[in-house]
Amino acid sequence: MATPRLDRPFFALGAATLARRLLGCVLVRTVGGRRRAGVIVESEAYLGVRDRASHAFGGRRTPRNESMYARPGTLYVYFTYGMHFCCNVVCAAEGDPQAVLVRALAPLDGVDAMRRARGGRDGVDLCSGPARLCQALGIDRALDGEDLTRSDRVHLEPPPPGFLPGPVGRSARIGVGSAHEWATRPLRWFLRTNPHVSRARP
């Protein structure tokens, strides 16, 4: 019996609420009929037009970030530093560009394929960081705008049976130092005892 995927109402929440709720959920990428998946252990909330760290700050709307304005449950994938992809779960309501950055996964399924995609890297180097997890799962701009509630290429599932998240930590986001007062707001959530949380600390 297939594991149910998360549906649209699950994503129709503010980014801060969803970022916390996504911890323990499973991000699934299907490549060539084969599954690659990991448990979300770290996430960051981006609160839309008022958030100086958001790509949609001030109502900015471009071909690059158009997916942020789509229905909740849409995948927003962007390219950064000329070399990395990062993936975000669009939330709140259509037209309100809030999103949650998936920062780290604990590998679950398809680990051999992830290792190959990461050039042989393993363990905590596999999916501990937003660019690493996208490389491991094969997520790029071709998936930007994908509907996570319907896609046969990428979706989200509830936490696996028996999964114990442990204590949850909260901190400022990473790498947003130029966002003025928004750089210190505690909009990052992570599983404190999970070794796959990214090493970077604010």
Could you read off the pLDDT of 74-84 as tens digits, one per residue?
Answer: 999 999 877 89
Q: How far apart are CA 54 and CA 96, in angstroms?
A: 12
In sequence order, which residues have a C-beta less than 8 Å from that of residue 2 and are 6 or more positions away? Answer: none
Number of domain units in the chain? 1
What letter does residue 201 receive in the DSSP assignment? Answer: -
- Give the domain CATH number at 143: 3.10.300.10
pLDDT in tens, 9-27: 999 999 999 999 999 999 9
Helix (H) or strand (E) holding 20: helix 15-22
At 8, give phi and psi (nearest 5°): -55, -45
178 pLDDT band (50/70/90 cuts)? confident
Asked if residue 183 is part of any domain, the answer here is: yes
Is 200's pLDDT higher than 70?
no
Express the helix, strand and coil content of the chain in percent, nearest 5 each: 25, 30, 50
Query: In degrees, to the nearest 5, what angle opens at C-alpha 50 toward C-alphas 23 and 87?
Result: 40
Asked if residue 89 is part of any domain, the answer here is: yes
Is 202's pLDDT higher than 60?
no
Asked if residue 180 is part of any domain, the answer here is: yes
90 forms beta bridges with 99
Asked if residue 164 is part of any domain, the answer here is: yes
Q: Which domain holds residue 56?
A: 8-191
Q: How far apart are CA 50 and CA 47, in angstroms?
A: 7
CA nearest neighbour of 30 among 144, 113, 153: 153
* Residue listed under structure tokens 């604010």: 202
What is the β-pairing status of strands 75-80 and 34-46? Answer: unpaired
Q: How far apart are CA 96 and CA 71, in angstroms?
A: 9
pLDDT in tens, 64-108: 999 999 999 999 999 987 789 999 999 999 999 999 999 999 999
Asked if residue 202 is part of any domain, the answer here is: no
179 pLDDT band (50/70/90 cuts)? confident
In sequence order, which residues have a C-beta less than 8 Å from that of residue 81 and are 6 or more positions away? Answer: none
* Residue listed under structure tokens 């949609």: 56
Q: What is the pLDDT of residue 83?
A: 81
Asked if residue 155 is part of any domain, the answer here is: yes
- Mean model confidence pLDDT for the chain: 94
Asked if residue 196 is part of any domain, the answer here is: no
Asked if residue 40 is part of any domain, the answer here is: yes
Q: How far apart are CA 104 and CA 130, in angstroms?
A: 6
